[in-house]
């Protein structure tokens, strides 16, 4: 005869002696256990009793969390009479609806002799694994993009996890479209102007965020909070769906950012806040928010303090107090595994090799950059001075000079060096910093690739740009650095490529596309960075084909870095036009004057 135990009183003391036929009562009190399970994307606590039979453990669920007894076959066995109160005191009153992961982990870190917490396998499942079970097709109104299956799975998992836990870590590898996934997530529930989404990123990524949002989610309104025109009160931020700012601006204006609750706080290139003692990390943690996502493609498991910083920002309390965490988990392989088990359920981390079947063989990513004010002034000065100095051939001379400024303001044309017209010298006394927006973005891409053990090709028309990159990247992880340009003897070039490919670990080759744009097979590289646009699209295509060619077994990610509203923008537009029209059929001279005029008059100065 089947008996519904929920029809019986929840208190053991209230059970009548006239029990339904077939039931017996034991007076032996069992130890309580709370099992945490996932139900419809949420963590739910379930009360149970632990009984040992012939050395084997048996867990018996209670009829509900407010019962102080369990039904073991036909025997009613009691739990401690105050177990329900102890459970509520430990996890809060909403046990049947939702338990926050951060609070749960805080409780697990404490030894409680009265009640034991246990996690089911579903709770311990990593975000990466859980995302695989999500649908690979998702409809998002207002999103002008077709997501790859892995991206759709990631967005679906992030939506559920952010709603249930309040935060997560997006740690997909470079080139997998983290920015697009975040934009898709925002479009699933568009932030209201009273509580916009806040995106904090390096200066070099602002233009890219603006471009990607306008491209994929044009209905989202955007406010860039940076520079002298930024808002002076928090009310000036509550006028848009998305606010984009830099880490330094966030620190300077923290009183404004912390004045109200944001729907999201999204930290791009989150390694910027990996130091838990830094001003950036301390300030960003004080911003009130409903949901949090630090984004990073750089592995952080090697430094557990770094991982603590990101995880605690995403889900406060998930790894406990920093001092106690460092005492309990000193850096090491075993402790890293323990911490990974805790952080895994709130982290999604896919590599290119994991989702290669979803990807095209070649991933092209344009990276628009915004010039900093000092470089804008220098750019305008060089143009005006060149046109004044060369009244007849000024336009042609100016195009080269402006290309040099965009490549790096320390570069100067070297008229004495015959290196296919691209010889340059470095003037370190140019009055402008070594690291500017373009160098910063290039170093970030190189550093992330190095951290993931990848090999990179960097193409630059001006040879000494490679020296500038290496000088600026002195703090990057150890890697092989090589170069091939017009001054490299033909007989030495293949040896350099062989060294590059044979090197175990990360490596970089800085190449001049005119010298290395044809005839070389460099399939050891899976990342290509174009630092300087070229007028001829065929030259760039040949350069990219050094890595993306027969023999390559993985998708190749190709980045093109360029400054918006400069000669580089004109060069890319002309290159795209020539590709569309077809170089062999349509003469290009009919647009030469128009492009030259644009090139010398386009201005990065804000109106």
Q: Contact at 8 Å (CB) between 507 and 456?
A: yes
pLDDT at 110 over 80: no
| Helix 465-472 with 437-451: angle, nearest 10 deg | 70
Q: What is the pLDDT of residues 48-62, one digit of tens each?
A: 999 988 889 999 999
CATH number at residue 302: 3.40.50.10810
Task: Give residue 564's pLDDT.
Answer: 95
Reference 160, options 291, 278, 320; nearest CA is: 291
Confidence of residue 590 (pLDDT cuts 50, 70, 90): low
> In terms of domains, do 99 and 132 share one?
no
pLDDT at 607 over 70: no
pLDDT at 300 over 80: no
Pairing relation of β-strands 75-78 and 69-72?
antiparallel
pLDDT at 329 over 70: yes
Q: Tokens for 586, please give them.
A: 């349509």
pTM of the model: 0.88
> In terms of domains, do 461 and 538 share one?
yes
Q: Identify the H or E element spanning 88.
A: helix 83-91
382 falls within a domain: no
112 falls within a domain: yes
Question: In sequence order, what DSSP letters do the residues of 463-516 get, joined into one string?
Answer: TTHHHHHHHHTTTSPP-EEEEE-TTS-HHHHHHHHHHHHHSSS-EEEEE-HHHH
pLDDT at 581 over 90: no
Residues in contact with 139: Cβ distance below 8 Å, sequence separation at least 6, in sequence order: none
Q: Which segments within 146-214 are labelled E, that is strand?
A: 169-170, 197-201
pLDDT at 368 over 90: yes
Averaged pLDDT for residues 567-575: 90
Confidence of residue 44 (pLDDT cuts 50, 70, 90): confident
> In terms of domains, do 170 and 58 share one?
no
| Rounded distance between C-alpha atoms, residue 338 and residue 335, angstroms | 5
Reference 135, options 163, 162, 160; nearest CA is: 160
| Rounded distance between C-alpha atoms, residue 156 and residue 184, angstroms | 10
> In terms of domains, do 340 and 438 share one?
no
3-state secondary structure of 102: helix
245 falls within a domain: yes
| Rounded distance between C-alpha atoms, residue 249 and residue 256, angstroms | 11
Could you give the C-alpha distances from 24 to 7, 17, 72, in angstroms and in order?
A: 16, 9, 10
136 falls within a domain: yes
Pairing relation of β-strands 556-563 and 527-530?
parallel
Task: Give residue 418's pLDDT.
Answer: 46
Domain boundary among 302, 328, 358: 358
Task: Give residue 583's pLDDT.
Answer: 44
Task: Give residue 83's pLDDT.
Answer: 85
β-bridge partners, 58: 51
pLDDT at 93 over 70: no
Sign of the alpha-carbon dihedral angle for 443, 446, 449, 450: negative
Confidence of residue 588 (pLDDT cuts 50, 70, 90): very low
- Determine if residue 602 is left, alpha or beta; phi over 0 gives left, psi from -120 to 50 gives alpha, anything else beta: beta
Residues in contact with 505: Cβ distance below 8 Å, sequence separation at least 6, in sequence order: 453, 478, 479, 480
Helix, strand, coil percentages for the chain (3-state, nearest 5): 40, 20, 40
> In terms of domains, do 102 and 185 share one?
no
> In terms of domains, do 227 and 325 share one?
yes
Q: Order of strands across the sheet with 116-119?
A: 56-61, 42-53, 31-39, 116-119
Reference 262, options 285, 289, 237; nearest CA is: 289
Domain boundary among 300, 324, 358: 358
- Mean pLDDT highest for which of 61-75, 204-218, 321-335? 204-218
pLDDT at 436 over 60: yes
For 182, phi and psi rounded to 5 degrees?
A: -65, -45
Could you give the C-alpha distances from 588 to 533, 569, 599, in angstroms and in order?
A: 18, 18, 16
Averaged pLDDT for residues 80-87: 84
| Rounded distance between C-alpha atoms, residue 294 and residue 311, angstroms | 8
3-state secondary structure of 412: strand
Lowest mean pLDDT among 160-174, 246-260, 388-402: 388-402
Q: How many Å is the maximal CA-CA distance in the chain?
A: 111
How many residues are there in the chain? 607
Residues in contact with 297: Cβ distance below 8 Å, sequence separation at least 6, in sequence order: 171, 172, 173, 174, 176, 178, 448, 452
Lowest mean pLDDT among 207-216, 428-437, 547-556: 547-556
Lowest mean pLDDT among 120-124, 275-279, 597-601: 120-124
Reference 79, options 60, 57, 94; nearest CA is: 60
Number of Cβ within 10 Å of residue 299's Cβ equals: 17
Q: Order of strands across the sheet with 362-369?
A: 362-369, 556-563, 527-530, 455-459, 507-511, 480-484
Number of Cβ within 10 Å of residue 357's Cβ equals: 9
> In terms of domains, do 110 and 156 share one?
no
Confidence of residue 307 (pLDDT cuts 50, 70, 90): very high
Task: Give residue 596's pLDDT.
Answer: 85
Averaged pLDDT for residues 563-576: 91
Task: Give residue 94's pLDDT.
Answer: 62
Q: 133 lies in which domain range?
A: 127-358
Number of Cβ within 10 Å of residue 263's Cβ equals: 19
Averaged pLDDT for residues 502-517: 88
Averaged pLDDT for residues 577-581: 68
For 454, phi and psi rounded to 5 degrees?
A: -90, 165
| Rounded distance between C-alpha atoms, residue 46 and residue 422, angstroms | 70
> In terms of domains, do 464 and 579 share one?
yes
> Which one has a higher pLDDT value, 151 or 545?
151
β-bridge partners, 46: 35
Sign of the alpha-carbon dihedral angle for 557, 585, 568, 534: positive
> In terms of domains, do 487 and 519 share one?
yes
pLDDT at 528 over 80: yes
> Which one has a higher pLDDT value, 63 or 578?
63
pLDDT at 242 over 90: yes
408 falls within a domain: no
Confidence of residue 420 (pLDDT cuts 50, 70, 90): very low
CATH number at residue 467: 3.40.50.300
Average pLDDT of every residue of the chain: 88
- What one-character DSSP code corresponds to residue 357? G
86 falls within a domain: yes
Q: What is the pLDDT of residues 15-27, one digit of tens each?
A: 877 788 888 899 8
How many domains is the chain partitioned into structurally? 3
> In terms of domains, do 167 and 300 share one?
yes
> In terms of domains, do 298 and 171 share one?
yes
Domain boundary among 309, 332, 358: 358
Share of the chain above pLDDT 70, in %: 93
| Rounded distance between C-alpha atoms, residue 425 and residue 404, angstroms | 11
> In terms of domains, do 229 and 283 share one?
yes
420 falls within a domain: no
Could you give the C-alpha distances from 351 to 199, 359, 555, in angstroms and in order?
A: 24, 11, 11
415 falls within a domain: no
Q: Identify the H or E element spanning 395.
A: helix 394-407
Lowest mean pLDDT among 212-216, 568-572, 578-582: 578-582
């Amino acid at each position: 005869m089947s008996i519904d135990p929920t029809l019986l009183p929840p208190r053991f003391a209230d059970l009548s002696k006239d029990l339904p036929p077939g039931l017996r009562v034991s007076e032996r009190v069992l130890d309580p256990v709370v099992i945490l399970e996932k139900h419809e994307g949420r963590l739910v606590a379930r009360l149970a009793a632990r009984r040992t039979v012939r050395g084997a453990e048996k867990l018996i669920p209670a009829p509900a969390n407010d019962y102080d007894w369990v039904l073991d076959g036909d025997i009613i066995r009691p739990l401690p009479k105050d177990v329900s109160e102890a459970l509520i005191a430990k996890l809060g009153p909403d046990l049947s609806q939702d338990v926050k992961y951060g609070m749960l982990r805080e409780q697990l870190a404490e030894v409680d002799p009265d009640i034991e917490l246990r996690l089911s396998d579903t709770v311990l499942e990593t975000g990466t694994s859980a995302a695989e079970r999500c649908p690979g097709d998702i409809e998002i109104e207002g999103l002008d993009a077709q997501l790859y299956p892995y991206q759709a799975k990631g967005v679906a998992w992030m939506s559920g996890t952010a709603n249930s836990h309040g935060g997560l870590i997006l740690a997909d590898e470079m080139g997998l479209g983290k920015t697009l996934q975040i934009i898709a997530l925002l479009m699933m529930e568009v932030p209201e102007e009273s509580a916009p989404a806040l995106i904090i990123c390096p200066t070099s990524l602002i233009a890219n965020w603006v471009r990607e949002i306008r491209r994929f989610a044009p209905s989202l309104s955007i406010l860039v909070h940076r520079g002298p025109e930024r808002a002076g009160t928090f009310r000036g931020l509550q006028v848009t769906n998305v606010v984009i700012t830099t880490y330094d601006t966030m620190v300077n204006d923290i009183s404004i950012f912390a004045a109200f609750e944001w729907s999201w706080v999204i930290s791009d290139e989150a390694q910027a806040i990996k130091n838990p003692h830094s001003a950036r990390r301390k300030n960003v943690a004080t911003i009130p928010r409903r949901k949090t996502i630090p984004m990073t493609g750089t592995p952080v498991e090697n430094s557990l303090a770094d991982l603590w910083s990101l995880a605690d920002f995403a889900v406060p309390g998930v790894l406990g107090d920093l001092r106690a965490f460092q005492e309990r988990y000193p850096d090491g392989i075993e402790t890293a595994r323990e911490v990974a088990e805790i952080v895994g359920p709130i982290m999604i981390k896919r590599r290119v090799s994991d989702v290669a079947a979803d990807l095209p063989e070649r991933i092209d990513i344009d990276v628009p950059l915004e010039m900093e004010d000092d470089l804008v002034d220098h750019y305008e000065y060089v143009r005006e001075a060149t046109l004044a100095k060369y009244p007849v051939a000024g336009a042609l001379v100016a195009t080269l000079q402006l290309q040099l400024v965009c490549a790096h303001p320390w570069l100067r044309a070297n008229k004495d060096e015959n290196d296919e017209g691209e010889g340059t010298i470095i003037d370190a006394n140019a009055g402008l910093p070594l690291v500017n927006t373009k160098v910063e973005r290039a170093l970030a891409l190189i550093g992330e690739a190095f951290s993931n053990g990848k090999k990179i090709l960097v193409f630059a028309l001006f040879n000494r740009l490679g020296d500038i990159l290496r000088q600026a990247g002195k703090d990057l992880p150890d890697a092989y650095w090589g170069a091939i340009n017009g001054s490299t003897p033909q007989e030495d070039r293949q040896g350099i490529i062989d060294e590059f490919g044979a090197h175990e670990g990360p490596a970089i080759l800085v190449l001049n596309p005119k010298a290395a744009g044809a005839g070389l097979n460099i399939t050891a590289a899976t990342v290509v960075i174009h630092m300087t646009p070229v007028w001829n699209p065929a030259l760039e295509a040949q350069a990219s084909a050094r890595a993306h060619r027969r023999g390559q077994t993985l998708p190749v990610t190709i980045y093109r870095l360029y400054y918006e509203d400069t000669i580089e923008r004109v060069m890319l537009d002309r290159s795209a036009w020539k590709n569309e029209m077809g170089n062999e059929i349509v003469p290009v001279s009919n647009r030469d004057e128009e492009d030259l005029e644009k090139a010398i008059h386009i201005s990065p100065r804000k109106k």
